[in-house]
Amino acid sequence: DADVTQTPRNRITKTGKRIMLECSQTKGHDRMYWYRQDPGLGLQLIYYSFDVKDINKGEISDGYSVSRQAQAKFSLSLESAIPNQTALYFCATSEGLAGATDTQYFGPGTRLTVL
């Protein structure tokens, strides 16, 4: 979905390096999410944010941190990258509709390789 962009699209880094993945959206949505995808494991939620001042840990937040710089921007950081963080990372947004009818819309993904 072109309304949700992620940079970079591909990144190779070395163990111990700090890296930041960025997500921007033009959908005007309040909620933003970071997921990682590993083959055969589906998507796992890392962090989510319901607004600029509301950031929450997901199921696999260890080793990651996030920053919600504005409604439209949500970045994911790996303070000291390790090889098992090699994965495909997705950002998603949702409008924040009442209840659970809220639909999430995904960016194109960032392929991260940690050597």
Interface residues toward other proteins, by CB under 8 A? 1, 4, 40-45, 48, 50, 56, 58-59, 90, 92, 99-101, 103-109
CB of 77 to other proteins, least distance (A): 21
> Of the two residues 9 and 18, which places its CB atom closer to other proteins in the complex?
9
Cα Rg, the chain, nearest whole Å: 13
> Of the two residues 50 and 67, which places its CB atom closer to other proteins in the complex?
50
> Of the two residues 84 and 103, which places its CB atom closer to other proteins in the complex?
103
- How far CA 15 is from CA of 20, 85, 86, in Å, comes to 14, 10, 10
65-70, strands of its sheet edge to edge? 4-7, 19-25, 73-78, 65-70
Pairing of strands 65-70, 54-57: unpaired
CB of 15 to other proteins, least distance (A): 26
